[in-house]
Amino acid sequence: MIRRTASIVAALTGAAFLLAAAPAQDSAGKTLKIVSSLPRTGSANAQTTSMVNGIKMAIEERGGAVDGFKIEYEDMDDASPQKGNWDPAVESSNAKKAIADETVIGYIGTYNSGAAKVSMPLLNKAGLVMVSPGNTYPGLTKPGTGEPNEPAVYRPSGKIGYFRVVPTDDIQGAVACEYCRNDLNAKKVFILHDRELYGKGIADVFKKTAGATGVEVVGFEGIDPKASNYRSLVTKIRAAAPDAVFFGGTTQTNAAQVLKDLRAGGCKVPFMSPDGTFEKAFIEAAGKDNVTKEQGGVYITFGGLPSDQLTGLGAEFVKKYKAKHGVVPEAYAVYGYEAGRVLLDAIDRADKKDRASVLAAVAATKDFTGALGTWSFDENGDTTNKTMSVNTIKDGDFSFLKAVVGGAAKAK
């Protein structure tokens, strides 16, 4: 009895405090919060720092407020020092933290497709909109491109709450393979992948496209991304005598070591890899002598245009970024910026500033004038933008070769 009285008193006191606190908050103006969850610890740090800068610039351009609501931003890390890469436990805790914080209205992330698999169902259930500046694994959104239960498994609520501003790997893998055949004149390719969602996914697309376009696949192997070297695998590759080697993987999954061992083992054919290696850290880890054209050349596809090839708003962004930070932004910075802009735009358009209205507003994004051109979100939550580029490495830096508009994604 006494206990019950005590709890009633406690509840009343609590309520009084709440009543007292509520008006104070009102007078200070309402705050909406955007969070991003990107791998900040580890070798992707340079890339993600520029993405975070992009998001911050998008917020600053709006004066830090939208429609009278103050916008607050939190930069969360989904990597752990033990992994040196994204960590499922951290990503899941980030998503839960964002869901629990009622002021959070939008979640920008993730960088790695594997990480998105973890947080997508959580955020979807909570109805919190997620905009990814970096995930390219097609199965996250497109039915028929990944596992049979994808993407339904990421949408427990049955609705679409995940959007991405970057074109997917089913387009990128095909573009890479076509470049390999038409521009590098490769008739035989050896395909390697890192056994991860992103790397194997893009390698599978490459293989499928190769089969369809008459390029012979002389080998398809998943490497151990933690091995000290790949010398013995290189012997196997040399025995198969391919005209080009494709590696589906990232700098973090040892792309540089694969390249190095190919060159050291005397396999001097063109090396192709996807956008997971489109960062300075890859060139630095591979060493300047291994990336030259004399050694066979390195060709990297990217789901968009590199910073120096952007036009319109994109070019303006690069200029402003250089003025502010003193360096040319990494390739994904503009996607961070675009993700931030499209989210702020949706918050602006939403009639009520709650999670459901903002989600609906993001989904309704149509003919958005952004840094990547004019584009919309399609019925799966994907961008309609399909511009890709092929790049090489020259004088120790990336150098643009050509832009390709990817074909419409074909489902199986």
Partner 1 sequence: MVRAVAAVEMLATCALSRADSVAAFAHDGALSSWEVFGQQLVTGLSNGMIIALIAIGYTMVYGIIELINFAHGDLCMLGAFFALTVVGALGVDQWGGAGGTAGLVMVLVGTAAFCGSLNWSINWLAYRPLRKASKLSLLVSAIGASFILVNLGLFWGGLPMEVFAGGVAAAAPKDFPALVPNTNLLGEESLVQFTPKDVLVLAVTVPLMIGLTWIVTRTRLGKAMRATAQNPVAARLMGIDTDRVIGATFLIGGALGGFASVIYALYNNTISFQMGYRAGMDAFTAAVLGGIGSMPGAVTGALVIGLVRSMSDAYLETRWTNTIVFGILVLILIFRPSGLLGSRAKEKV
Binding site for partner 1 (CB under 8 A): 41-46, 81-82, 84, 195, 221-224, 226-229, 231-233, 235-236, 238-241, 251, 254, 256-257, 260-261, 264-266, 280-281, 284-287, 289
Backbone angles phi, psi at 217, to 5 degrees: -95, 110
- In whole angstroms, the minimum distance from the beta carbon of 262 to partner 1 comes to 12
Beta carbons within 8 Å of 298's beta carbon, 6+ residues apart: 259, 270, 271, 272, 273, 286, 291, 392, 393
DSSP 8-class letter at 328: P
CB of 198 to partner 1, least distance (A): 17
Q: Which is nearer to partner 1, 131 or 256 (CB)?
A: 256
| 8 A C-beta contact, residue 188 and residue 242 | yes
* Least distance from partner 1 to the Cβ atom of residue 173, Å: 20
Smallest separation, CB 184 to partner 1 (Å)? 16
Least Å from the CB of residue 340 to partner 1:
23
- Report the residue number, 84 or 88, with the smaller CB distance to partner 1: 84
For the CA atoms of 336, 122, 363, 50, the dihedral, rounded to the nearest 10 degrees, stands at: 0
**Toward partner 1, which CB reaches closer, 101 or 289?**
289
C-beta closer to partner 1: residue 209 or 290? 290
| Cβ at position 229, least distance to partner 1 in Å | 5
CA end-to-end span of the chain, whole Å? Answer: 67
Both tokens of residue 85?
């890469």
Residues 404, 175 contacting (CB under 8 angstroms): yes
Comparison of 42 and 201: residue with beta carbon closer to partner 1: 42
Residue 175 or residue 291: which is nearer to partner 1 going by CB? 291
- CA-nearest of 67, 115, 59 to 357 is 67
The Cβ-side half-sphere exposure at 173, using a 13 Å CA radius, reads 30
Give, in order, the Cα–Cα distances in Å from 372 to each of 38, 89, 334, 338: 21, 33, 8, 8
